[in-house]
A and B are shown apart, each in its own frame.
Chain A
Amino acid sequence: MKKMSFVLIMIFICAGCSKRIILKEARINQPGLFSYSKNMESNYFIDKNITYSFEKIWETETHGSFLNSSIVIYDKYLFAADLSGRLYCFDDVTGKEIGVEKFKGEMSISPVIEKNQIIFAVNEYKEHFFTLHFFNFIKGEYNESIEMDGSAVNEMIKLSDGVIILSSRGELTKLDYNGKLNWRYKSPAACLSDPFYAGGKIYFSDTNGYIHVIDAGSGKEDLIINLGGSFESGPVIKDKLLCIGNSSGEIILFDLAANETLWVFESKGKIATSPIFHDRIIIATNLSGRVMALSIVTGDVLWEFNANGLLNAKPLAFKNIVIIPDLNKGVYFINIESGELLNKIQFSGRIRHSPAYYNGKLYLSYDRGIIESYKINELNND
């Protein structure tokens, strides 16, 4: 009887424990979705046409939820960092949990993957710093853990030779993939928006209304642009044009070559996400629930859609469709040419991730850490 009790207790304890992440069978140099958005620019534009019909593949759950971050993928492994301080690894095919790394703090931004290493930030509980971990997921070992001042609330940029992280206190840091500091730049104001990489430069905004342009190689300040107001969304750049939305609801197009503002559009709602450049238009959303397609040339509204919710997570644009996540429990599929609502997925909780797309699959998540994977067909992209 005692033995039976002991076995039952051990089974109970073991069932309650999670496995750590050790992916011994993972192959080296496999493709994936290595960072928030797919590329260095984080421009959230995917040059493909898709259908707006979808089919749910799997659903899985994390302990905590998310804060408009996103998942990353390496080969058949999907990683998600949650607000309860856990880094999860799931099987991308089945959604089954493979392992988890636990910390006492929160992970509010997406990890970055470089080869066999996943880099993620933990905002430490009861501390004034966060820790950037460099974790070898094949060996299950931490190569490096670096404490940094403030909070990690802005998405990292994955460069070819290192990773860029911008802390809440405005400290922009570049580290190589061994965790070695390359350079550090300090903004005088707090920063609550994602930095952007374009043409060898890092662009980021601060809460005092400034855009900082930093040389990605040296960390030297290249340019500071004072646009006024306060920014809680980051800039995006295309063809020497910088677009950004501010906390007053203005969407600003700035010509970096001419150093002048081309136009300002009043969106009537605070802007917390970066706009998206799409061919000849800019897609922008605001917290009042408005989606706007603006002409790059004139700033005129080409179409608009009112979700009536709260749009604080980054949309995902394809050539024909833009996918808009709404905190009011919905995800909208909107025709990018006309603004017509093509489809909507209704969830039972608030949408908590920026949508991610990889290999024909769309990943969405909502309150209580529910992650869902949907199959989406690509159209003829010729």
Chain B
Amino acid sequence: MIFASVMISSDKSRLIKSVSVFCLLILCAFPGNADAQYFFFGRNKVQYEDFNWKMIGTENFNIYYYGDFENIAEIGAKFAQDSFDDLKQKFNHYVTRKIPLIFYNTHIHFQQTNTRPGFIPEGVGGFFEFFKGRVVIPYQGSLEQFEHVIKHEMVHVFMIDKIYNMKTNHRSAELNMPPLWFVEGLAEYWSYYWDAQAEMVLRDVVLSNLFSKYSDMDKIYGSFIMYKAGQNFLKYLSDEYGESKILLLLENSWRFSNFNDVLEFTLEESIEHIDRKYEYYLKRKYYPLIGEKFPHKIASKKLTNEGFNFSPCYYSDGEKEWLIFIANRSGYSSIYKLEINDKSKDFIEPLLLIQGEREEIFESFHLMKPSIDVSANGEIVFVTKSGASDVIHLYSISNKEITKTFRFDEIISIEGTKFSKDRSQIVFSAIDKKGFSDIFIVNVESGKLTRLTNDYYYDKEPVFSNDGNYVVFASDRTEGRYEKKINLFKYDLSDHLINYLTYTDANIASPRFNSEGELFFTTDYEDVLNLWKLEWDENLEPRGMIKISNFLTSVFEYTFRDDKRIITSAIENFSFQFYEYEINNFANIENNSAVFDFTDIGHRWFAEKVKSSQVLKKIDYETEYTLDYAVSQVIADPVFGARGGAIFTLSDMLSDDQFMFLLYNTAEDQTEIMKNFNVAITRINTKYRTNYAYGIFHFNGRRYDIRESNEYFVERSFGGFFSLIFPFSTFQRIEASISTANSDKKLLGETSPRKALLMTNTLSFVHDNTLWGPTGPLDGSRFRLLLGYTSDVKFSNVNYYSLIADYRNYLRLGFRTALASRASFYYNHGKEARRYFAGGSWDLRGWKRFSIRGEKLWISSVELRFPLIDRIAVDFPFLGIGLFNIRGAAYFDIGSAWDDEYFETLGSFGAGVRINILNAITLRYDVGKRIEKGFTHIQDGLFYQFFFGWDF
């Protein structure tokens, strides 16, 4: 499967759009993770590896790679150069700059990249980032998909470059980016063929009325459906109006601000007419299929109705029959078990077996990859990401515990774990440090690892034969007529020879033996993935295959309940559910077989590398800093006069090392200009697991510190700081910092300044495994414990210590409902200790914002968070506005702040509404009553409070 994304930016604003196959829908539907690594809480992006980067320079590319990945990197360079040569013609445009292409040898390593802030979901298969014009791509074992992603991202590179060149050529300030469906649809259309996955997606969404015409593009905005619908619409335009129209849509975009006007102008037809024609085209193509094939819900019994369910494995404990599977039903991917012989309800609620994604050992289940199996004695083998790589776990269902964990030095990512019949061995496919996806066997008792294949062919989904003599796996090592198609191969464990089991012009997946030793698999031989069975001749050689299911949409994975019943994981209505069907249901399928022709298969194929004549240099990575962004502003203040400042940052190509510069002046007359330069220079290094930052600063000017009295003061301070962050895992880290500052501070009206040489040390421990909804956390917990000490080492004017203990817990009551609670204690004690503040929408609601101040402060809150309105749309004659994910809250707050003597306890209760605007800001409106006078009196009337900010 391909996952891709684009990161696009205009001059002043950045638009980040990540899209992935299927997973995007999951990401949209489910809460996500907080990626605020450098904030008070937040998970950690851990740099487990110290990559020794290298670079290949060609005429059009600088290709970055590391370690043992050179072989695949050179193949990737060839893909990139070929796509450049192709796309320059398609776009009639030449990208004159060198394009940085950064390769990671697995997705796990890719997730450590600093080229993009925040976490990268498993579904993202690459992105184009505009600040430095970088393309960042992980290799995931398949050369074909590698080429696809490279080309997909290169379409983005060319498109953006062409648009900006057009903008410059026209000197136009109004040239808009095309809509996302066009951006991603074109990237797919010009990078890949219309494959079985695309056909499955479009067939499903058309037949389920999720998408049936051009004007439905808005309904699927941002989803993977949009990628494929965009690709299909452009293919339709090319077939109906001519391929030249595709580029004209881009080249005419200067002409109109609305893309529909561009479409009308270019195609010379009204939008309504185009819409009608495309709708007719889709319906004419897909509606007749209903008469030929069967929806899963008609031909099977549906077993699940919620969440995203994958990798079903049948297991019987002697009393009951179970389905063991991986699913995302709550936002976290976990392993569940479902009792399948319970007929009391239509849909039985599965039981949680292993909770995932809350602690390091189960950091991530690979939801959409087959990676689970159950032995007859009730042991589950499954894969999780744990630290720097994937590991294999064995789990005893009866004892409810992990019995063994295997981690291998050379292996980074693992999938497709399957037991041998006697449970003594586990076969799986894995990607090593070279990027090779190969087949391995591990002995369960000894832990000994045996490698069966060792090359760049995409070997995956191995299974043992029932007698344990050979391993069947799928691979793109197919030669000859059907070169690079994924067929089934047999690895004989006695003579170590690999032989064909199938030879078709199709892709095959999920081989499984039933108890009779018959080999089943899924293939897109006809169109979408259906179940087929291998046919043997009288000499026990593979002869052909016969079709045993005829579903409208794909079957991904399956398990045998018995010889007659199969439980499938299938897609329908763009939902991933389990179905059970009887093989006999499709006994009368017409044209249900195919015969293999193994003659004249030909020779092994080899991937071409970039020509040596095209390689201009091959060197170790050299750190060169280039500008990320620069912002400056000059203001004319009626009171303080003109003042101005600028912020700019520099970083290297991999964004491991960043310098930030802040410069502004607070002079109020000409004589102060030199001494009122405020400067801060900071270096942040995130290359290694231990992140560090240091910097120097000089600040001088009039200030207002809310933590002190309500007065202005003048302070000149200069000094430096150093901080370290060490993440134990994604969920926990320790932070330490030291800073020193020479501070001369004078309140207005005072004659002599308070002088101090301040030294501050802090040490913190932070934990965060929360899962976020649209406006704040919904599940998990987080806390910070901070100890600090600040002293004036020269004059002893300041001397105090600090303690912060802040714990927050989120109890999930329903899929989108949670009870949030927090208990926070902030304590500064000593000479000239700074004050904390509270009050307002973020903590003690109803009280004036930041009005509650003290050197000591405690706050506790309980809040019920629930969905209020999923979508509200208002269409004006000239504009339409849509608001999504409007959430409600009912809360109770209590807390107080004091300096030396505890004064009174304050509180409030009420309800509120929160709206997430474009994932950038949350607006909050609260109504309630204050609890006043030492918690003895409830406010008359109501307070109303409007502000912004995420839920605590």
**Chain A residues packing against B (C-beta within 8 Å):** 63-67, 83-84, 106, 123, 125-126, 128, 151, 168-169, 189-190, 192, 207-208, 230, 232, 247, 269-270, 272, 287-288, 308-310, 312, 327-329, 349-350, 352, 367-369
Contact = CB atoms under 8 A, between A and B. Distances in A.
B169 A272 contact: no
A66 B166 CA distance: 10
Contacts of A232: 244
Given A350-B96, A367-B165, A288 B268 contact: no
B98 to A, nearest CB: 12
B244 A327 contact: no
A328 B94 contact: yes
Contact of B255 (A123, A192, A367): A123
B89 interface: yes
Given A125-B255, A192-B244, A247-B244, A327 B93 contact: yes
B169 A367 contact: yes
Contact of A309 (B94, B172, B244, B254): B94
10 contacts: A64-B171, A65-B169, A106-B254, A123-B255, A128-B264, A189-B242, A207-B244, A312-B92, A327-B94, A368-B168
A83 B169 contact: yes
B629 to A, nearest CB: 23
A247 B85 CA distance: 15
B92 A367 contact: no
Interface string B154-174: 000000000001001111100
A64 B169 CA distance: 5
A208 B241 CA distance: 10
Contact of A207 (B168, B242, B256): B242
A291 B821 CA distance: 72
A310 B88 contact: yes
Contact of B59 (A66, A106, A308): A308
A64 B170 contact: yes
Contacts of B264: 128
A350 B244 CA distance: 22
Nearest to B614: A308
B169 A329 contact: no
Nearest to A270: B89
A168 B244 CA distance: 11
B85 A190 contact: no
Nearest to B171: A84
A128 B170 contact: no
Contacts of A169: 268
B261 interface: yes
A169 B261 CA distance: 16
A190 B169 contact: no
Given A208-B242, A309-B94, A126 B169 contact: no
A131 to B, nearest CB: 14
Interface residues of B, number: 28
B423 to A, nearest CB: 57
A126 B244 contact: no
Nearest to A64: B171
A368 B164 CA distance: 12
Contacts of B664: none
B242 A230 contact: yes
Contact of B96 (A66, A151, A288, A328): A328
Contacts of B255: 106, 123, 125-126
A102 B254 CA distance: 17
Contacts of A352: 169
A312 B165 CA distance: 16
Contacts of B244: 190, 192, 207, 230, 232, 247
Interface string B266-305: 0010000000000000000000000000000000000000
A331 B245 CA distance: 29
B165 A287 contact: no
A368 B169 CA distance: 6
Interface of B: 59, 85, 88-89, 92-94, 96, 165, 168-172, 242-245, 248, 252, 254-257, 261, 264-265, 268
B165 A350 contact: yes
Contact of B85 (A126, A272, A288, A368): A288
Given A192-B244, A269-B89, A270-B89, A367 B168 contact: yes
Contact of A67 (B59, B85, B94, B169): B169
A126 B92 contact: no
A199 B268 CA distance: 33
B171 A63 contact: yes
A228 B637 CA distance: 69
Contacts of B85: 288
Contacts of A125: 255
Given A64-B170, A83-B169, A367-B165, A128 B89 contact: no
Nearest to B241: A190
A368 B165 CA distance: 9
Nearest to A269: B89
Nearest to B256: A126
Contacts of A83: 169-171
Nearest to A62: B171
A349 B327 CA distance: 53
A26 to B, nearest CB: 28
B93 A310 contact: yes
A308 B89 CA distance: 12
Given A287-B89, A310-B88, 11 more contacts: A65-B168, A83-B171, A106-B170, A106-B254, A123-B255, A126-B256, A192-B244, A247-B243, A270-B89, A308-B59, A328-B96
B94 A310 contact: yes
A251 to B, nearest CB: 15
B95 to A, nearest CB: 9
A111 to B, nearest CB: 18
A64 B252 CA distance: 16
A210 to B, nearest CB: 12
Nearest to A63: B171
Nearest to A105: B255
Contacts of A65: 168-170
Given A126-B255, A128-B265, A192-B244, A84 B170 contact: yes
Contacts of B248: 168, 192
Contact of B261 (A126, A247, A270, A369): A126
6 closest Cβ pairs, A-B complex: A65-B169, A287-B89, A84-B171, A327-B94, A310-B94, A270-B89
Contacts of A208: 242
A84 B59 CA distance: 32
A122 to B, nearest CB: 12
Nearest to B166: A83
Nearest to A352: B169
Nearest to A128: B265
Contact of A310 (B89, B169, B256, B261): B89
B672 to A, nearest CB: 28
A189 B268 CA distance: 11
Nearest to A66: B169
A272 B93 CA distance: 12
Nearest to A126: B256
Nearest to B169: A65
Contacts of A349: 96
A66 B169 CA distance: 7
Contacts of A230: 242-244
Nearest to B257: A126
Nearest to B245: A190
A123 B171 CA distance: 15
A349 B97 CA distance: 11
A249 B96 CA distance: 23
A303 to B, nearest CB: 20
A102 B85 CA distance: 37
Contacts of B268: 169
A287 B92 contact: yes
Contacts of B256: 126
A228 to B, nearest CB: 13
Contacts of B252: 151
B265 to A, nearest CB: 5
A66 B89 CA distance: 19
B165 to A, nearest CB: 7
